[in-house]
Amino acid sequence: MPLYDFRCEKCQHAFEANVSLKDKEAGVKPSCPNCESKEVSQIFRPLGFIRRQSSGGGGCSSGFG
Protein backbone atom coordinates (compact mmCIF):
# COMPACT_ATOMS: atom_id res chain seq x y z
CA MET A 1 0.00 0.00 0.00
CA PRO A 2 1.43 3.42 -0.91
CA LEU A 3 2.43 5.87 1.80
CA TYR A 4 1.06 9.42 1.39
CA ASP A 5 1.65 12.67 3.29
CA PHE A 6 -1.38 14.50 4.69
CA ARG A 7 -2.07 17.66 6.71
CA CYS A 8 -5.07 18.12 8.98
CA GLU A 9 -7.09 21.24 8.15
CA LYS A 10 -8.32 21.48 11.75
CA CYS A 11 -5.14 21.19 13.83
CA GLN A 12 -2.48 21.53 11.06
CA HIS A 13 -0.82 18.26 12.10
CA ALA A 14 1.23 16.69 9.26
CA PHE A 15 1.26 12.89 9.09
CA GLU A 16 1.83 9.91 6.81
CA ALA A 17 -0.78 7.27 6.09
CA ASN A 18 -0.97 4.08 4.06
CA VAL A 19 -3.90 4.41 1.66
CA SER A 20 -4.81 1.87 -0.98
CA LEU A 21 -5.13 3.10 -4.53
CA LYS A 22 -8.75 1.91 -4.55
CA ASP A 23 -9.56 4.01 -1.46
CA LYS A 24 -7.66 7.03 -2.80
CA GLU A 25 -9.59 6.91 -6.08
CA ALA A 26 -12.85 6.61 -4.11
CA GLY A 27 -11.95 9.76 -2.14
CA VAL A 28 -11.50 7.96 1.19
CA LYS A 29 -9.26 10.01 3.48
CA PRO A 30 -7.53 8.88 6.68
CA SER A 31 -8.35 10.40 10.05
CA CYS A 32 -5.86 12.74 11.68
CA PRO A 33 -3.97 10.80 14.38
CA ASN A 34 -3.82 13.97 16.49
CA CYS A 35 -7.48 15.10 16.59
CA GLU A 36 -9.24 12.33 14.57
CA SER A 37 -10.66 14.83 12.08
CA LYS A 38 -11.44 13.65 8.54
CA GLU A 39 -10.74 17.16 7.21
CA VAL A 40 -7.34 16.32 5.76
CA SER A 41 -5.63 17.20 2.51
CA GLN A 42 -2.81 15.45 0.74
CA ILE A 43 0.58 17.15 0.72
CA PHE A 44 2.47 16.90 -2.55
CA ARG A 45 6.23 17.08 -2.17
CA PRO A 46 8.69 17.68 -5.00
CA LEU A 47 10.41 14.58 -6.30
CA GLY A 48 14.16 14.24 -6.17
CA PHE A 49 16.19 14.24 -9.33
CA ILE A 50 19.46 12.79 -10.53
CA ARG A 51 22.06 15.24 -11.75
CA ARG A 52 24.39 13.95 -14.41
CA GLN A 53 28.07 14.48 -13.79
CA SER A 54 30.34 15.81 -16.48
CA SER A 55 32.73 13.33 -18.08
CA GLY A 56 36.06 12.56 -16.50
CA GLY A 57 35.00 11.75 -12.97
CA GLY A 58 32.43 10.05 -10.99
CA GLY A 59 33.27 6.68 -9.61
CA CYS A 60 29.85 5.30 -10.39
CA SER A 61 30.18 2.17 -12.48
CA SER A 62 26.45 1.68 -13.15
CA GLY A 63 26.51 3.56 -16.43
CA PHE A 64 24.36 6.41 -15.09
CA GLY A 65 26.59 9.37 -14.86
The string over 46-61, giving b where at least 16 C-beta atoms fall within 10 Å of a residue's C-beta and e elsewhere, is eeeeeeeeeeeeeeee
Domains of the chain: 3-43 (2.20.28)
**What does the alpha-carbon distance between residue 17 and residue 4 come to, in Å, rounded to a whole number?**
5
Burial class (CB in 10 A: 0-12, 13-18, 19+), 40: buried
Summarised one tens digit per residue, pLDDT across range 5-30 is: 999 999 999 999 999 989 989 999 99
Percent share of the chain, pLDDT over 90:
57
pTM: 0.66
Is the pLDDT at 58 greater than 60, yes or no?
Answer: no
Name the band, by pLDDT with cuts 50, 70 and 90, for residue 33.
Answer: very high
Q: Residue 46: its pLDDT value, please?
A: 77
Q: Residue 62: its pLDDT value, please?
A: 53
